[in-house]
Amino acid sequence: MEIGGIEALRAWRARQSGTVALVPTMGALHSGHRALMDRARESADHLVVSLFVNPLQFGPGEDFTRYPRPIEADLAMCEDAGAEFVFAPALIEMYPAAPEVTVSSGRMGAIFEGADRPGHFDGVLTVVTKLFHLTRPHVAVFGLKDIQQFSLVRRLITDLDFDIELIGLPVVRDRDGLAVSSRNDYLTPGERLAALAIPRALDAGESALTDGGLPEDVLAAARAALDGDLDVHYLALVEAATLQPVREQFRGSALLLIAATVGTTRLIDNRPLEF
């Protein structure tokens, strides 16, 4: 396994004749990332994993400086998963100066997470674009826990004509039902118990739909399950294709979205639903 920055990646990429899969990460790897790597390894001849904490997607007061960076453990997981190159550039290498030209996430990036975190998705799409240009992957694998991010990357690939197959992997959960996340490490035992209201709310919404409920019934059931010490930022039922609120007689694929802060930790989760 090779590890390096931009020039090393370009040299490695120039030597590859088969297909390449990319798993972009900010490090602090967990079982969800491992699942992404395993899926990517099945989808191409070569696997590249990026480890880069991207400052452009952090807003004022967010956790950029304290974001965990366990590089040795991350590299061990990458090697065990069969990664052939780990792209781990220095900050100054990716951004020698504040970028003048960035990628706009548009209307889809201004709602939900984007409304609470202005500029977040512009930062995400800017670094993903750089990663795509540097890696030139045939396949990119993202997790569906960050469903708004996945939707925007899909539009990025379509709107900017990247010749990349995008694969979304379903949410990976711990035994207690909480979606795995690097930020779960910030939770105290009591906060983790409180956070379990999030998957319970998703289950309640899905059960309401199974029982023949309308969109308003799904939302009401999910809202009723959001008990405990949670600061709920949004709870929404949206069309999967557009992220716009579902209509009363909607038929098709939808997403039940939740974002909440527990203690000082912001968590997001979602559940796909079929009406």
Q: Count CA within 13 A, CB hemisphere, residue 121.
A: 24
User: Cα separation of 49 and 21, whole Å?
Assistant: 8
**17 is annotated as contributing to ligand binding:** no
* Active-site residue identified among 33, 46, 120, 233: 33
**253 is annotated as contributing to ligand binding:** no
**221 is annotated as contributing to ligand binding:** no
**109 is annotated as contributing to ligand binding:** no
Q: Is 138 a catalytic residue?
A: no
Helices 6-14, 120-135: axis angle to 10 degrees equals 40
CA dihedral 196, 31, 59, 98 (to 10 degrees): 180
Q: Which two tokens stand for residue 180?
A: 């795995």
Write phi, then psi, for 219 (nearest 5 degrees). -65, -40
**31 is annotated as contributing to ligand binding:** yes
Q: Which two tokens stand for residue 265?
A: 């930790």
**149 is annotated as contributing to ligand binding:** yes
* CA gyration radius, the chain: 19
Q: Which two tokens stand for residue 168?
A: 């979304």
Write phi, then psi, for 7 (nearest 5 degrees). -65, -40
| Contact criterion met (CB below 8 Å) for 239 and 274 | no
**144 is annotated as contributing to ligand binding:** yes
**27 is annotated as contributing to ligand binding:** yes
**207 is annotated as contributing to ligand binding:** no
**Residue matched to tokens 């010490």:** 229
**214 is annotated as contributing to ligand binding:** no
**45 is annotated as contributing to ligand binding:** no
**180 is annotated as contributing to ligand binding:** yes
Give the residue numbers of the binding site for beta-alanine: 57
Q: Which residues are annotated as a binding site?
A: 26-33, 57, 143-146, 149, 172, 180-183
Active site residues: 33
Which residues fall in the annotated binding site for ATP? 26-33, 143-146, 172, 180-183
Annotated binding site for (R)-pantoate: 57, 149
